[in-house]
Amino acid sequence: MGLGGFPATDPLSLGMVGMHGTYAANLAINNADLLVCVGARFDDRVTGKLTAFASKARIVHIDIDPTSIRKNVEVDVPVVGDCRQALSGIMEICEPSWRTRTGPASMPSGFAPCPSGRKASPFLPAKRQHQAPAGGGSLRHLTRGDAIIATEVGQHQMWAAQFYSFTKPRTLLTSGGLGTMGFGFPAAIGAQFAFP
Per-residue model confidence as pLDDT tens digits over 94-126: 876 665 655 544 555 555 555 555 555 566 545
Q: In what order do the strands lie in the sheet with 77-80?
A: 34-38, 58-63, 77-80
Look at residue 186 in the predicted model and tell me its pLDDT.
96
Structure pTM?
Answer: 0.77
For 15-35, the pLDDT digits (tens) are 899 988 888 899 999 999 999
Flag whether pLDDT at 141 surpasses 90.
Answer: no
Lowest mean pLDDT among 41-50, 91-100, 116-125, 166-175: 116-125
Task: State residue 169's pLDDT score.
Answer: 92
- Read off φ and ψ for residue 26, nearest 5 degrees: -70, -35
For Cα atoms 166, 53, 151, give the angle at the middle one, nearest 5 degrees: 30
